[in-house]
Amino acid sequence: MHDYRSMFDLTGREALVVGAGSGIGRAGAEALAAFGARVFCADVDAEAARGTAREISEAGGRAEALELDMRSTPSVEAAAERVGTPDVLVCTPSINVRKPLLKITDEEFDRVVDLNLKGTFRVIRQFAPGMAERGSGSIIAFSSIRAQTVEPGQGVYAATKAGTVQMLRALAAELGERGVRVNAIAPGIVETPLTAQIKDSPEWYDAYARKTALARWAKPHELAGMIVYLASDASSYVTGALMFVDGGWTAADGRFVPPLPAI
């Protein structure tokens, strides 16, 4: 019988988590370490990255911190010199400019695209070749429910998240025969620094909660299970996928629902 108990075991593997200083990236780094991986905690905020690595080490895990700015090719290259070729690459950072599309300036457009889409490209371009040469690896990057469902004021952000999915699918097709799996995760509403503007508004916060089937926001640790799954052998036949962790946001249309008999 297959050894099912070991499917999630990451002992002996190395993972690079970009965006590990806070939010989903931090939770993902902690979870990967808890399942046995040695984790490189990377973030543009070096002190935040050190905080995550320190917390993992204090819990008995193995972690190192490093500074990495996805907007800078030299920064990504410098990180690669230190890390080498990890077994798992997780890329979480994003930014958003909440404005009507026709009010977006060139600078704002470029800023969102440069981090969300091109930044992800810079990272996978740097680390994927080594994985392909070795013949194994799992690349996990973050998209969003906005890749498929839009909201006024998030046009450019949505475009980058849809673009990320297609870019990753292309890479999955290109590297599949070389043993590299490439997948995207689409979170719903998660309490992170990115959503602080909405979270701080009771009206927005409640409206977003009601849109989900679970009627609540997610905590960052609730995304960690999907990260571990895609990093591990439990997902050995999963590539080119977009995995929704959205509390049912995309399952329901959000219109008025007539009352149903109590169950």
* Per-residue model confidence as pLDDT tens digits over 6-58: 999 999 999 999 999 999 999 999 999 999 999 999 999 999 999 999 999 99
Q: Tokens 């890749």 correspond to what residue?
A: 147
Catalytic residues: 157
Alpha-carbon span 231 to 91, nearest angstrom: 12
Q: Is residue 1 part of a domain?
A: no
Give residue for tokens 């889409």: 117
Closest by Cα among 231, 132, 45 to 124: 132
Domain count, the chain: 1
The answer to the question of residue 103 being in a domain is yes
Q: Quick check: 71 pLDDT over 80?
A: yes
Would you state the structure tokens that stand for residue 213, as one six-digit string? 């089937």
Kindly report the CATH number assigned to the domain that includes residue 241: 3.40.50.720
Q: Kindly tell me the sign of the dihedral angle through the C-alpha atoms of 248, 250, 251, 253.
A: positive
The answer on pLDDT for 128 being more than 70 is yes
Q: Is 19 a domain residue?
A: yes
d(C-alpha 74, C-alpha 263), whole Å? 58
Let me know if 114 is exposed, middle or buried by CB neighbors in 10 A (0-12, 13-18, 19+).
Answer: middle
Model confidence at 260, pLDDT cuts 50, 70, 90, reads low
Residue range 178-199: average pLDDT? Answer: 89
pLDDT for the residue numbered 24: 97
Query: Does residue 257 lie within any of the structural domains?
Result: no
What's the rounded mean pLDDT across residues 229-246?
98
Strand partners, 63: 39
Considering the chain, what is the average pLDDT of its residues? 95
| Average pLDDT of the residues in 218-246 | 98
In a domain, 4, yes or no: no
Q: Which domain covers residue 218, as residue numbers?
A: 10-248
In a domain, 222, yes or no: yes
Closest CA to 128 of 182, 185, 60, 207: 182
